[in-house]
């Protein structure tokens, strides 16, 4: 599985390593932690592809983005 978008690939790797860090104690007890990591990375890339078609910046949908206003005290 490959992605031509370097930023998307970096995001997927970062998410996979974040999940590995959260589950690090369980990884030590697994028979194949490398396989878990590969599967997790693959799932992250697939998740990005699934979400890629659904996200559009608000400008592309013909909607204005509201300006951030400072809160009054």
Whole-number Å distance between alpha carbons of 9 and 3: 6
3-state helix, strand, coil in the chain (%, to 5): 65, 0, 35
Predicted local distance difference test score (pLDDT) of residue 1: 63
How far lies 23's CA from each of 27, 30, 32, 41, 48, in Å?
A: 6, 11, 14, 14, 21
Q: What are the pLDDT digits (tens) for 22-46?
A: 988 888 888 998 999 999 999 998 8
Predicted confidence band of residue 4 (pLDDT cuts 50, 70, 90): confident
Predicted local distance difference test score (pLDDT) of residue 57: 52
pTM as predicted: 0.60
């Amino acid at each position: 599985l490959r992605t031509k978008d370097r930023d998307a690939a970096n995001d997927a790797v970062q998410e996979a390593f974040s999940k590995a860090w959260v589950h690090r104690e369980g990884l030590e007890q697994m028979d194949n932690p490398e396989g878990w990591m590969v599967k997790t990375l693959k799932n992250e890339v697939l998740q990005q592809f699934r979400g890629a078609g659904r996200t559009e910046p608000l400008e592309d949908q013909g909607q204005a983005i509201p300006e951030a206003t400072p809160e009054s005290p």
